[in-house]
Amino acid sequence: MVNQVVRKSFAALSGLGALTTAAALVILAAIACGPSAPAPTATPAGAMPAKPVAVAPTSADLGGGSPEAFARVFADALASSKSRPVSAFADAAKPLASGQKLKVGFIFVGSQADLGYNQAAYEGSVWLEKHMPDVEVLRAENVPETAEVQRVAEQMIRQGATIIFPTSFGYSGPIKQIAGRYPNVVFLHQGDLETRENYGAYFGNIWQLEYAAGQVAGKMTKTNKLGFIAAFPIPQTLLNVNAYQLGAKSVNPKVETTFVLTSDWCDPAKQTTAVRTMIDSGVDVITQHQDCTKTIVEAAERSNIYVTGYHQDASPAAPRAWLTGAAWNWGPVYTELVSEIRNGTYKTSVIFAGLEAGFVKLSPLGKSVPADAQQAALATVEGLRKGTIKPFTGPIKDQKGAVRIAAGVTPTDAELQTIDWLVEGVTGNIK
Amino acid sequence: MNIFWLVLGGAFTGAVGPGVSVLYATYGEVITERAGRINLGIEGSMLMGACFGFLTAVETGNVVVAILAGGLAGSLLSGIHAYLVVFRDTNQLATGLAVTLFGAGVTAYAGRSFVGSSIEGLNPVAIPLFSNLPVVGRALFQQDLLAYAAYALGPLLWAFLHYTKWGLSLRAVGESTNVAFAAGRNPARWQVAAIMAGGLLAGLGGAQLSLALTHSWTEGMTAGRGFIAVALVIFGMWSPLRAMIGALLFGGAIGLQLQLQSIGAPISPFILDMFPYIITLAVLTVWTGAALRAMPEGLKGVLKGTV
């Protein structure tokens, strides 16, 4: 009886053969085309005035930062650049024919809905499109940090892109390899410390907000153990974990931060495992330097611990667990860069700024944070903005207790970007 | 000593978490290979299960339907593999890889707008008493239902393969299609069924990954775990019971490396990150002799020189 049923179902299974023939054809097509990355899609914008307009951001656009400081950051970077102005070579600086749009390509390493790094960059590109109506943005998501990014960038250039924003740290190598081949295109890398004539870079001092978030975490922890889940021990990451621990320690002398690396910018299974492992060892506030932040934020909410965010406001994903977070504010930065290129005044340089110029901002404070701690966090942000709080002013010791920044010394932004050690109170190994 | 227990506990916690999805995929591949076929498309089936399980959970809010959808999606993808290798006689290794790439593409496209979605998902249920056991209690007995089902499935599959008529038929097909045919079995049907059942199990593993472990969908989130499952089948010498040990060992290596990092062990995180793969490779190296003897005859043509 049972055997009969089974025989019938096997017969039905082999009947599927016909269906799968069609699928097989699809596969063959897939093989022929190779592993396909998503093709860049053009996103049309609204109305288009004939000439580009320079867009001066307001203080509200800058998350409370000052428009003057914002303008000064760009002016200083141009003044100190040794490159030629892009008007000498860039197609983007040439006048547009009427009805034509300036095509700007954005390449993302992950999904634009990752509640993290890529969403922050994506929202910046939307801001750019909204504020410069004669700009057309081409986007490609989920592009790996390999030769694949060269292929995608070249495809965008063939589609007419004259400015390319490769927004992931690991794109720097592959993009620099092809930058020389396209001397009329301007590449603007997010996070590099080097330039070429047509390859500039910019980044933000997001560690300032890691310091502020660390303070909140240091106040909220009951176990005095914070957890930091990172991907790779690059300077940006080390700066963040150091700032987090320094912030926490400034309000709670007993606090320690546990630091683990997942060796992947977005592997949710490893992220979850790291959260569980940390909870087992007593951590009750967690943060991260991953590209996609949703999994860890939600895991904290489910596990009854607290979380501070990174890259992007993810508070809706964790109404109870959310304390606050560090977030990017790329829109005005992208817009300023594009309008300077458009006007021919841009020279490739490395632009770095923080709260004062509104490159970064504090994510909303969660309802679990008591009012006095909320006040203190806002005061800290103001102090960092005005420069009255300088977290990395010495003496600062490393994990082994050796003084790495001497008493009274404040490292420059560039010096901070070369940090390759962890501060006292961080448990973890990076070499 | 405290540190020792902490590390061991962490390894166990890690072992069961990422281990369960790999375990399902390993079960699936055991069934497939016992019927004399190899399916490298299992990675694609896991992705299908993870993606369509998650999508269904978002759309319906019903986690049981979501699990079934995940299994079905994995099974359908492996159906393509089954058709090609059984009826069109294509190269099994190349076809499996193509199927995986196809699955990766389909899921990247289908899951695109669901990356930021939240689901209730499948949450851990503690088993009273057992979950209070020291070291292993929380790790083993505070898990989701799919994990408990995976514990039970190992012995059940083993019993199925060794003590049922169907299990015998399946193994007979895997040893020699001619003999099975002479005994009145239709080898093609058995192989298609085995490959699709394997895809179903891999799909369930993928669903566990997205619905229970991470509550998230991300493109390519299986990160090669399906291929690890293929290696674990060899380690497990085509036995579902040994596969359990293999999957726990692999998962445990992930948990162990994270735990060692978090206590600040003086080992490079880059070395620690290789742990799971070093263990997999080491085990394959040590086991090869015995594994070759246990290999179903039908696989030898495909795998000769590769094991």
Residue to substitute from B113, B208, B218, interface A, most A β-carbons within 10 A: B218
A31 in B contact zone (CB under 8 Å): yes
Domains of chain B: 2-303 (1.10.3470)
Distance from the Cα of A111 to chain B's closest Cα (Å) equals 7
pLDDT number for residue A179: 93
pLDDT tens for B116-125 read 888 988 888 8
Dihedral over Cα of A60, A62, A64, A70: its sign: negative
Would the pLDDT of B307 be above 70?
A: no
Distance from the Cα of B13 to chain A's closest Cα (Å) equals 7
Would the pLDDT of B4 be above 90?
A: no
pLDDT number for residue A175: 96
Distance from the Cα of A314 to chain B's closest Cα (Å) equals 10
Q: What is the mean pLDDT of residues B186-196?
A: 95
Cβ <8 Å between A111 and B196: no
Would the pLDDT of A29 be above 60?
A: no
Would the pLDDT of B270 be above 90?
A: no
pLDDT number for residue A100: 87
Backbone angles phi, psi at A422, to 5 degrees: -110, 145
Would the pLDDT of A129 be above 80?
A: yes
Report which of residues B34 and A431 the model is more confident about.
B34
Q: Write down the H helix ranges in A257-354.
A: 268-280, 294-302, 330-342
Cα A42 to Cα A48: distance, rounded to the nearest angstrom: 16
Of A239, A232, A235, which Cα lies nearest the Cα of A206?
A239
Chain A, 335-374: which have a CB under 8 Å from a chain B CB? none
Report which of residues B259 and B79 the model is more confident about.
B79
Would the pLDDT of A34 be above 60?
A: no
Would the pLDDT of B37 be above 70?
A: yes
Q: Which residues of A fall within a CB distance of 8 Å from B190?
A: 10
In the structure, what pLDDT confidence band is assigned to residue A241 with cuts at 50, 70 and 90?
A: very high
* A406 CA to centre of own chain: 31
Q: CA distances (Å), A294 to each of A61, A214, A271, in order?
A: 25, 19, 10
The average confidence (pLDDT) of chain A is 86
Would the pLDDT of A41 be above 70?
A: no
Cα A79 to Cα A187: distance, rounded to the nearest angstrom: 19
Q: Work out the percent of chain A whose per-residue pLDDT is above 90.
A: 66
Would the pLDDT of A351 be above 50?
A: yes
Distance from the Cα of A388 to chain B's closest Cα (Å) equals 34
Q: Between β-strands A396-397 and A256-261, what pairing exists: parallel, antiparallel or unpaired?
A: unpaired
Cβ <8 Å between B189 and A269: no
Q: What residue ranges do the domains of chain A occupy?
A: 41-205+330-357, 207-328+360-427
Residue-by-residue DSSP string for A417-430: TT--S-BTTEE---
Q: Nearest chain B residue to A302 by CA: give it.
A: B123
In the structure, what pLDDT confidence band is assigned to residue A392 with cuts at 50, 70 and 90?
A: very high
Cβ <8 Å between B262 and A277: yes
Burial of B304 (0-12, 13-18, 19+ CB in 10 A): exposed
In the structure, what pLDDT confidence band is assigned to residue A380 with cuts at 50, 70 and 90?
A: very high
Beta-bridge partners for B99: none
Q: What is the mean pLDDT of residues A211-235?
A: 95
The average confidence (pLDDT) of chain B is 89
Cα B77 to Cα B42: distance, rounded to the nearest angstrom: 9
Distance from the Cα of A182 to chain B's closest Cα (Å) equals 30
Cβ <8 Å between B18 and A270: yes
Cβ <8 Å between B10 and A281: yes
Q: Between β-strands A322-328 and A306-311, what pairing exists: parallel, antiparallel or unpaired?
A: parallel
In the structure, what pLDDT confidence band is assigned to residue B20 with cuts at 50, 70 and 90?
A: very high
**Which member of B189, B259, B266 has the closest CB to residue A14?**
B189
pLDDT tens for A271-308 read 999 998 899 889 999 999 999 999 999 999 999 999 99
A292 in B contact zone (CB under 8 Å): yes
Would the pLDDT of A6 be above 70?
A: no
Helix pair angle (B269-294, B240-262), 10° resolution: 170
In the structure, what pLDDT confidence band is assigned to residue B304 with cuts at 50, 70 and 90?
A: low
Report which of residues B250 and B71 the model is more confident about.
B71
pLDDT number for residue B266: 82
In the structure, what pLDDT confidence band is assigned to residue A119 with cuts at 50, 70 and 90?
A: very high
Would the pLDDT of A9 be above 50?
A: no
User: Same CATH fold, A207-328+360-427 and A41-205+330-357?
Assistant: yes
Cβ <8 Å between B10 and A280: yes
Cα A292 to Cα A315: distance, rounded to the nearest angstrom: 14
pLDDT number for residue A53: 53
**Which member of B192, B219, B268 has the closest CB to residue A14?**
B192
Distance from the Cα of A63 to chain B's closest Cα (Å) equals 24
pLDDT tens for B224-248 read 999 999 988 988 889 999 889 888 8
In the structure, what pLDDT confidence band is assigned to residue A8 with cuts at 50, 70 and 90?
A: very low
pLDDT number for residue A58: 86
pLDDT number for residue A344: 87
pLDDT number for residue A108: 95
Q: Between β-strands B142-143 and B125-126, what pairing exists: parallel, antiparallel or unpaired?
A: antiparallel
Residues with Cβ within 8 Å of residue B81, at least 6 apart in sequence: B39, B41, B95, B96, B99, B195, B199
Would the pLDDT of A214 be above 90?
A: yes
pLDDT number for residue A296: 95
SS3 content of chain A, % helix, strand, coil (to 5): 40, 20, 40
In the structure, what pLDDT confidence band is assigned to residue B112 with cuts at 50, 70 and 90?
A: confident
pLDDT number for residue A151: 96
Protein fold of A207-328+360-427: Rossmann fold (3.40.50)
Q: Which residues of A fall within a CB distance of 8 Å from B79?
A: 16, 19-20, 23
pLDDT number for residue A281: 85
Dihedral over Cα of A256, B17, B261, A214: its sign: negative
Residue to substitute from B43, B258, B274, B277, interface A, most A β-carbons within 10 A: B258
pLDDT tens for A150-192 read 999 999 999 999 999 999 989 999 999 999 999 999 999 999 8
Taking CB atoms and an 8 Å cut-off, how many pairs form between chains A and B?
A: 179
Cα B193 to Cα A366: distance, rounded to the nearest angstrom: 52
Could you tell me which CATH number the domain at A41-205+330-357 has?
3.40.50.2300
Q: Residue type at A209? A: L
Number of H helices, E strands in chain B: 13, 2
CA atoms within 13 A on the CB side of B64: 0
Report the 10 Å Cβ neighbour count for A220: 21
Length of chain A: 431
**Which member of B98, B189, B214 has the closest CB to residue A27?**
B98
Q: Nearest chain A residue to B103 by CA: give it.
A: A27
Distance from the Cα of A108 to chain B's closest Cα (Å) equals 13
